[in-house]
A and B are shown apart, each in its own frame.
Chain A
């Protein structure tokens, strides 16, 4: 009998332990917002709880998101915000949010890239906050502000922008007797001259093709336009043709580095001073500092992308995000109030490596950046690029287009395909993905 009780007890204990395990799992995955919504509705009008999920770096030396949010919480006892950092890449975060929205426990606010916003909208993940957005319009630059709208309705506020600029090693340029090229011919000539000395002043990054080549091509004209509520897709614009021509010539004459951007070999070639110039998004400035390391300190500089791709002096977007209000958010007004405050915390956000999207153009370059980039006020350079950025509209399903472009670009990099194939792949995939979403396409 004793043994039976013992056995029974053991069984019960085992189940209890299991139960605890399950409870543990449940609460950790859902705590982001389910509880806050419930709390907020219980004592409505008193303390509103807002949850915010971001992907900002929060690295050492930066003003962390939590500390910015703490400041807000101290000043606003009635609107309490909890920020959660998502450790993973953008597409994983979108997938997670998609599932969260479906199960009704998504955060109120989430970081969403401009290129992803239409897709996220079509997936039914956004809450219309047009009525609250209007009053904050003046706080943000017009271009980015409008990137947070889909079909005339607004879904959040912009945070940062990613204009493409040119990063180069000034010291190495001087040694080669080169200046930053102004025209297409100068660029190709300079690249060939550098290549003859075993250096590259341009990089062809297959893994970033979907973002960067789109931006470069988009500097001169849009790929996607809406006509009578249907999409007109043309990825073979003059801009695309120019990008294809230039990169093809550089690839053919082996005058361009082909290391993927996020592979350790990219960093290695920067450190060895093989790669001495590359087009990059403004937000790459602190990342490049890390990649190059102390050896390049003081040697690097930032310039505008020249008139290299028939872009008429304009540049294009690569990345940049806003913060969107997600479906199911019960306190749109308070969420937007916080968002307006948070996205205008210029100094703190700059420390996170962002080129802020505020209308305030008087932004300071952090001292450590200034020191690294040879005393240059690179923020001013970024703001200039930002003002000079062409408008670009992304379609829902653009992530599939970017994937197809990456695949084609890696073939082009290894000589198995051409750069023009990348834009051809973009065309067919754009049509396919729009069809798959059930959206209208103009013939």
Chain B
């Protein structure tokens, strides 16, 4: 008696649900269309195009001194990749970016975390005011920030240099070994507030019962910070680190702007700059083929680095 009824009801239920599900799916996809379209147009298609281009070089086939006035796309197989991988300029660029990342990212993350902890503690009143203040540099576009700092670094007009001169110091922010530090300073100034917000959000998501329990057990503020807050923001730290590593590998704004003040920053200072200047033709080999190859190799390196970091982080968390 009961079995067929149940089966019938089940069948009816499935039919009903599937109609609702379909409708919902339709609506869902409608909402997805704008995203998918844009994603396809500005992300997927250019990447495929770049990969396609990276197998070509543009050469004049007309012969003679000026080459007949047209460039032809010549399929060169993996020659562009071979050039990138064997290019000294490319690897010194990667080296600079690597040094930069190793110095800048941990420094900024620690600073951001410290600020967030301070903000989340009971010491600071008027949190929203401070939050805005620290976040403000992030609201300034990277290029503008770099321009401001170029003036602040300038030997002849910088107030910082003038201040240092009071103490008999003569800092040269564009000296060969210092210039990377000067760039790191700009990035840190811009992004510390942003990362602080990530940490602050994570800190404020921690249930306050934990603090109460800890206080009843006799923990002081410092212990709460170290034993409860810090372990609970690990996820946020991973996110901030990943974003920062990916961001610093694409180092571009700072060196590009500082180049006007310091021609010692070459056109291939970072891989990003090298890719741009290769496509413009101010580096040789020139053109979109080699430029795409540089971009692809750099993306692979960034991907490997980010994946390695995520894996290591997970391993550390598990143990």
Residues of A within 8 A of B (CB): 4, 7-8, 11, 14-15, 18, 91-92, 94-95, 118-119, 121-124, 126, 150-151, 206-207, 209, 226, 229-231, 260, 262-265, 268-269, 272, 396-397, 399-400, 402-403, 406-407, 409-411, 413-414, 416, 429, 432-433, 436-440
How many whole Å from A119's CB to the nearest CB in chain B?
A: 7
Partner of B154, one of A94, A123, A263: A263
Given contacts A206-B264, A403-B283, A407-B266, contact A265 B30 (CB under 8 A): no
Given contacts A18-B38, A118-B66, contact A95 B262 (CB under 8 A): no
Contact B156 A400 (CB under 8 A): no
Contact B34 A15 (CB under 8 A): yes
B3 in contact (CB, < 8 A): no
Contact A151 B64 (CB under 8 A): yes
Contact A414 B261 (CB under 8 A): no
The 3 A-B pairs of least Cβ separation, nearest first, read A438-B59, A11-B30, A124-B70
Contact A400 B283 (CB under 8 A): yes
6 contacts between A and B (CB under 8 A): A11-B30, A18-B34, A121-B66, A396-B66, A438-B61, A440-B64
Interface centre among B71, B154, B280, B284 (most CB of A within 10 A): B284
Q: In the assembled complex, which residues on chain A have CB atoms less than 8 Å from the CB atom of B71?
A: 122-124, 437
Residues of B within 8 A of A (CB): 23, 27, 30-31, 33-34, 37-38, 57-61, 63-67, 69-71, 150-151, 154-157, 176, 260-264, 266-267, 277, 279-286
In the bound assembly, the distance between CA atoms of A11 and B64 in angstroms comes to 59
Contact B263 A409 (CB under 8 A): yes
Contact B264 A264 (CB under 8 A): no
In the bound assembly, the distance between CA atoms of A231 and B66 in angstroms comes to 9
In the bound assembly, the distance between CA atoms of A126 and B71 in angstroms comes to 12
Interface centre among B27, B64, B154, B263 (most CB of A within 10 A): B263
In the bound assembly, the distance between CA atoms of A8 and B23 in angstroms comes to 11
In the bound assembly, the distance between CA atoms of A122 and B31 in angstroms comes to 48
In the bound assembly, the distance between CA atoms of A226 and B65 in angstroms comes to 7
Partner of B65, one of A231, A265, A399, A413: A231
How many whole Å from A398's CB to the nearest CB in chain B?
A: 10
Q: In the assembled complex, which residues on chain A have CB atoms less than 8 Å from the CB atom of B57?
A: 436
Q: In the assembled complex, which residues on chain A have CB atoms less than 8 Å from the CB atom of B281?
A: 91, 94-95, 119, 397, 399-400
Other 4 A-B pairs with CB < 8 A, given A91-B282, A118-B66, A410-B263: A91-B280, A406-B263, A407-B266, A410-B264
